[in-house]
């Protein structure tokens, strides 16, 4: 049995006329009759009753038509998916991001990509920059959202945006109103990223505090931005964090002051494995750069 036998059968079942069916199929009547007869012989059932006046489906033919239409729909879905896979528009696409980026932007990205590539299963991972670099080099991540610096000959990057730094604090415990009051925090407990986990952030913290004349007393350390913000929210210390974090951690108990005196920024990079820049990655990067 070949696919054309099924298509010929379904067209005849639709038209119930060898003349009309042959015209629609762009063939002559004799080949159509022969194909139908071959099909009936192969499956061992009469599908049509025909005479000089009419063509009608038998009960077996009615069942066969219903089932074959469903099978053809399935074949069409399989063909579409196979085409998408060959175009790198199916399967899985892995996106990693650092915890200090705005989760709302990541959610918008996945929603947009899901609409553009409906056959792709998008997987999200919250991964620190150091681990993302290794995963990108090993092609375990298709798109990484990291913070600079990133130095690897195996990875391509584009700047997403530059992020400033802000002081965050519990408003009741630390009634700070303007930037220069940071000078008064020399004896205050600081909550910050672990130095081994994020050495660049740690150096940024030291540089900012040095500008205001003191070395920070980092008592509480964490590897997760949400934990840092919760500790600050509960009044267990203050912190200096990238400003965009406050989009997703905006609590009434927390005050923040953007630090403008120190011209210090952290770059957010969009990273892909070198030489493996897919259509999905290109679409994702274009979407994020417009936000």
User: Which CATH number belongs to the domain containing residue 129 in this structure?
Assistant: 3.40.190.10
pLDDT at 84 over 90: no
Q: Do residues 66 and 99 share a domain?
A: no
Give the DSSP H/E element, type plus range, for residue 219. strand 217-222
Q: Would you call 34 helix, strand, or coil by DSSP?
A: helix
Residue 239 and residue 218 share a domain: yes
Domain with residue 54: its CATH number is: 1.10.10.10
Q: Return the higher-pLDDT residue of 196 and 229.
A: 229
Which has more pLDDT, 200 or 38?
38
Measure the CA–CA gap between 263 and 273, rounded to whole angstroms. 31
> 258 in helix, strand or coil?
strand
| Residue 175 sits in the same domain as residue 226 | yes
Q: Would you place residue 14 in the very low, low, confident or very high pLDDT band (cuts 50, 70, 90)?
A: very high
11 in Cβ contact with 31 (< 8 Å): no
Alpha carbon distance 177, 57 (integer Å) = 85
Q: Which of 64, 63, 22 is nearest to 39 (CA)?
A: 64
Domain termination residue (choose one: 86, 106, 135):
86
Count of Cβ atoms closer than 10 Å to residue 272 Cβ: 21
* 233 in Cβ contact with 253 (< 8 Å): yes
Quick check: 190 and 239 in contact, CB under 8 A?
yes
Mean pLDDT on 75-85: 75
Are 177 and 47 in the same domain? no
| Together in a domain, 80 and 99 | no
- Is the same domain home to 284 and 146? yes
β-bridge pairing 48-50 and 55-57: antiparallel
Range of the domain at 223: 165-264
Q: What is the DSSP string of 103-152?
A: HHHHHHHHHHHHHH-TTEEEEEEE--HHHHHHHHHTTS-SEEEEES----
Q: Is the pLDDT of residue 80 over 80?
A: no
pTM over 0.95: no
């Amino acid at each position: 049995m070949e696919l054309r036998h099924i298509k010929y059968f379904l067209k005849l079942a639709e038209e119930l006329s060898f003349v009309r069916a042959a015209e629609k199929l762009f063939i002559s009547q004799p080949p159509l009759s022969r194909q139908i007869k071959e099909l009936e012989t192969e499956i061992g059932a009469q599908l049509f009753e025909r005479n000089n006046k009419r063509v009608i489906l038998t009960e077996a033919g009615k069942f066969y038509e219903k089932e074959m239409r469903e099978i053809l729909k399935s074949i069409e879905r399989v063909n579409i998916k196979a085409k998408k896979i060959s175009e790198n528009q199916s399967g899985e696409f892995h996106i990693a991001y650092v915890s200090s980026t705005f989760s709302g932007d990541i959610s918008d990205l996945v929603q947009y990509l899901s609409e553009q590539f409906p056959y792709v299963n998008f997987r999200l991972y919250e991964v620190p920059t150091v681990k993302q670099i290794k995963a990108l080099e090993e092609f375990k991540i298709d798109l990484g959202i990291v913070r600079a610096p990133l130095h690897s000959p195996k990875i391509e990057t584009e700047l997403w945006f530059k992020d400033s730094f802000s002081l965050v604090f519990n408003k009741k415990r630390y009634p700070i109103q303007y930037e220069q009051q940071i000078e008064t925090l020399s004896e205050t407990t600081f909550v910050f990223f672990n130095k081994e986990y994020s050495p660049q952030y740690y150096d940024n913290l030291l540089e900012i505090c040095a500008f205001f004349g003191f070395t920070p007393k980092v008592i509480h350390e964490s590897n997760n931005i949400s934990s840092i913000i919760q500790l600050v929210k509960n009044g267990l210390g203050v912190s200096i964090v990238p400003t965009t974090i406050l989009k997703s951690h905006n609590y009434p108990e927390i005050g923040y002051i953007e630090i403008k005196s120190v011209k210090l920024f952290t770059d957010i990079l969009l990273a892909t494995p070198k030489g493996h820049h897919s259509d999905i990655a290109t679409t994702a990067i274009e979407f994020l750069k417009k936000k």
